[in-house]
A and B are shown apart, each in its own frame.
Chain A
Amino acid sequence: GAVVSQHPSWVICKSGTSVKIECRSLDFQATTMFWYRQFPKQSLMLMATSNEGSKATYEQGVEKDKFLINHASLTLSTLTVTSAHPEDSSFYICSAGRQGSSYNEQFFGPGTRLTVL
């Protein structure tokens, strides 16, 4: 149980285009989902916290107009990178906290590799 999927697993796009990444909890309902970004040989940096049915909370330094997050249901959150540029190339990872728990525990997706040309 507690499986989180991400789609796509990798994407290559041209500079200036937008890319949508989906994060799904497959066998549980997730009250809260988190989006992280990881640059090569670095740690996971929290970008935003997404609660179902409400606006996401962004970490300092993360542009909310550039990284649009939607959490429309208890099993799906999406991250859209708008007008992507090469510096947005990174590994994007989502995690989900189970509904009804204290959600100390988070279950991680396999990540999405974004390359912007």
Chain B
Amino acid sequence: GENVEQHPSTLSVQEGDSAVIKCTYSDSASNYFPWYKQELGKGPQLIIDIRSNVGEKKDQRIAVTLNKTAKHFSLHITETQPEDSAVYFCATNQAGTALIFGKGTTLSVSS
């Protein structure tokens, strides 16, 4: 089955810096790659996603890149703000299957 690895497990940055979180996956048939932000006691919130026919997608301060050959995808957050502090999860699936999640990255942005 699919296996998703996520690094780093914790990430501390200063406000205004960039943050990058990386994930690798094992199943070459996976074709959907979302990123979720989870705050304490809440369900995961989709922040950006990308499909396998696209290499990069950007939404304001957030971007995701995908390298299908290497089977890895990354989340990039620029100009970080304290409210970006949360746990971030990558996930992947193919049509008709459940999302499989990475282990999560705790991002701390200090002002």
Contact = CB atoms under 8 A, between A and B. Distances in A.
B95 interface: yes
A105 B50 CA distance: 11
Given A43-B103, A106-B98, A108-B36, 12 more contacts: A32-B96, A34-B98, A42-B103, A44-B44, A44-B101, A46-B100, A93-B44, A103-B96, A104-B93, A104-B95, A105-B49, A113-B41
Interface residues on chain A, size class: 20 to 34
Given A104-B51, A105-B49, A109-B43, A43 B95 contact: no
Contacts of B93: 104
Interface of B: 31-32, 34, 36, 41-46, 49, 51, 89, 93-96, 98-104
Interface in A63-117: 91, 93, 95, 102-106, 108-111, 113
B43 A108 contact: yes
A95 B99 CA distance: 10
Interface of A: 6, 32, 34, 42-46, 49, 91, 93, 95, 102-106, 108-111, 113
14 contacts: A6-B43, A42-B103, A43-B101, A44-B44, A45-B101, A93-B44, A103-B95, A103-B96, A104-B51, A105-B34, A106-B99, A108-B43, A109-B43, A110-B42
B103 to A, nearest CB: 5
Contacts of B31: 104
Given A43-B103, A43-B104, A111-B42, A105 B32 contact: yes
A93 B96 CA distance: 19
Contacts of B98: 34, 46, 49, 106
B78 to A, nearest CB: 25
A45 B93 CA distance: 14
